[in-house]
Amino acid sequence: METLDLARLQFAVTTSFHFLFVLLTLGLVSLVALMQTRFTLTRRPVHERMTKFWGRIYVINYALGIVTGVVMEFQFGLNWSGLASYAGDVFGAPLALETLIAFFLESTFLGLWIFGWGRLNRWVHLALIWLTALTAYASAFWIMAANGFLQHPVGYEERDGVLRLVDFGALLTNPTFGTALTHVVFAALTVGGVFVTGVSAYHFIKRTNEVEFFRRSLRLGVVVTALATPSLVGAGFAQFPIISEYQPGKTHTVPWIGMPLGFMILIGMTLTFASWITLPLLVRDWVIRMRFPLYLMVIGIPLPFLAAIFGWVFREVGRQPWLVYGLLRTSDAVSKVNATSMTLSLIVFSTLFLLLAITDWVLIARAVRRGPETTPQPVAPLVVAL
Amino acid sequence: MDTLWLALLAILVMGYFALAGFDYGTGLLLPFTRDRAAALRRMTPFFLGNEVWLVAAVGVLFAAFPRLEGELLSGSHTVFTIVLGGLVLFMASVQLRLWFGLIFLGALAVAVGWGLFVASLSGVPWFVGAALMPALFALHGMTFQSRSRLFGLTALACALPVPLAFSSHPVEGLMAGPDTLAMLSWVAIPILPLVVILQWSIVAISPR
């Protein structure tokens, strides 16, 4: 393979893995924030234990996800130096805002939240999880603003062969930004809802003694999924007129591009339908007593992840052969690096990311199987030794 | 404007090496440490905060010096594969308390990688760089772990090589346009002290 193909493959692999971590991080932090809010208001121990159990899973996923994010950030400069030198003035702005506002601040708030358990005023501690959630969503905001620019460049002026930023506001009113961001936000909430539902269902299949704990978790998961999916699907379909106006060739860039799109829509519809059917069955815990829906809930856990990857493949592959639509071709943006170096980094990062994903899976599965703690435990592997 | 952004970049880069340096040093010294768990525990409250200085530095490098970023990184492609591969290994294995050998290997790859980068920037032979950075990090890890009064000195020693090696590099015409920089200043200037205060609070509330 040539450098270009290797660099594209590397971007696809690393971004896909990164995206999986990010979706669960965004989804879980929102639910954990809701749980902690209920705890802070009611002071009932069950809500505190829920916050800790789901919070621990969230922190495991965050700790490994942040590592994939570091590699992602370097990758632009390493493999796509043409993008930085041509469009860095414009594209780099939202990307830098993401690293400064979101990445930098988010990890600091989360650190304070982790180390602040039992040491800070409970309202301050609650504010910290909301700030962590807010900065996590701010991350999605700036990344989608940067991606929206690649799909439909705005707010720039070309001078001496490079793009200069002239209207920052245009990046935020970009038609390829708002609906896509809404779509991603609700996709993350769906991932969180489906995950919490599925894990709770697993414990009911195993005849858990923690009935109240998982009953509450399952109900929260189902309600979040039911509320998120209609907006998710709506914001998905709302993008078709935008695509046909700004990227008319998108649906036939490659012969197979309809397939991921089709599967994504199918999964979105299925989850909407399933969550709304389940809502009335929450009455008197019918859905738990019927038992067979519990198995479907566990099987459903990977579905929103799959849909998200399909959607991302459609959005990004559909932009080809352009990196910045209509302005910069992907083949002109790739760094002048020989194929051997590119192969080496492809192998190193793919292997490490695969290992990270497996580790994440194993650790989350272990935390899930162990169930909620009966004695107080530290909330994070970060403070495992405290 | 140019000076401001060069100063900001320098602060972030030096902050990263001064802080993360003792993380890597602690990792490098693990094979020679009797109580490994205690050594890692001492570094725990600092860890995540230290590493994200790199993320902020690269973010600023990308947005404020877009034509420099691509050239610097892609010009040392394999060196950064070593640094980043080491970082992935190091961060994951420290946070999850995996086998100490992995933590050591990760720290070693990061340290040698940065050493090679210093060598390629400054023109000193590669093996000098590859030996220098691990030695400085190890020393810094030692002063951190023993709470030595020389901590400030080793921090400075870790922080200086990359900015010094870089200082001979011309930056004329590599910066982003004034509109981009003006917009970014509004965010970058207030965030830096905020993060410093918050990171200090994490350490302050953690048990010794």
ipTM higher than the 0.85 cut:
yes
Q: In Å, how far is A241's CA from the nearest CA of chain B?
A: 31
**pLDDT of the residue at A376:** 63
Task: List the alpha helices (DSSP H) in chain B.
Answer: 2-29, 36-64, 66-75, 77-95, 100-122, 126-145, 151-159, 161-166, 178-205
Question: Cβ B202–A112 below 8 Å, yes or no?
Answer: yes
The answer, for A337 touching chain B at a CB cutoff of 8 Å, is yes
CB-based contact A74 B179, cutoff 8 Å: no
Give the whole-number percent of chain B exceeding pLDDT 90: 34
Cβ separation of A168 and B96 shorter than 8 Å? no
Own/partner contacts of A43-48, CB < 8 Å, gap of 24 or more, are A46/A212, A46/A213, A46/A216
Interface contact A323, partner B, CB < 8 A: no
CB-CB under 8 Å, A70 with B55: yes
Q: Collect all residues of chain B within an 8 Å Cβ-Cβ radius of residue A110.
A: 48
* pLDDT, tens digit, 9 for 90 and up, residues B69-110: 888 888 889 999 999 999 999 988 888 777 889 999 999 999
Measure A83 CA to nearest chain B CA, in Å.
8
- Judge: A70–B51 Cβ closer than 8 Å, yes or no: yes
Question: Do B71 and A85 make contact, defined as CB atoms within 8 angstroms?
Answer: yes
Scan for tokens 């970009």, then name that residue: A174
Min distance B105 CA to chain A CA atoms (Å): 14
Residues of chain B contacting residue A63, judged by C-beta atoms under 8 Å apart: 91-92, 95-96
Subunit contact B207:A111, Cβ cutoff 8 A: no
Write out residues 66-85 of A within 8 Å (CB-CB) of B.
Answer: 66-71, 73-74, 76-85
Pull the structure tokens for residue A276: 């709304």
Q: Which residue of B has its CA nearest to A146?
A: B63
The pLDDT of residue A249 is 82
Residue B208 pLDDT level (bands cut at 50, 70, 90): low
Burial of B151 from C-beta contacts in 10 A (0-12 / 13-18 / 19+): middle
Instruction: Count A/B contacts: CB-CB distance under 8 Å.
Output: 222
CB-based contact, A283 to chain B, within 8 Å: no
Give per-10-residue mean pLDDT for chain A (386 aa): 90 93 96 96 93 91 88 90 89 89 85 87 95 94 95 92 90 94 97 97 92 94 96 93 88 86 94 94 90 94 96 91 92 90 93 90 89 69 42
A378 touches chain B (CB under 8 A): no
Question: Is B169's pLDDT higher than 90?
Answer: no
Mean pLDDT of the region B158-180: 81
Q: What is the DSSP letter of B168?
A: T
Hey, are the CB atoms on B47 and A382 less than 8 Å from each other?
A: yes
From the list A84, A115, A384, the residue facing B69 with the nearest CB is A84
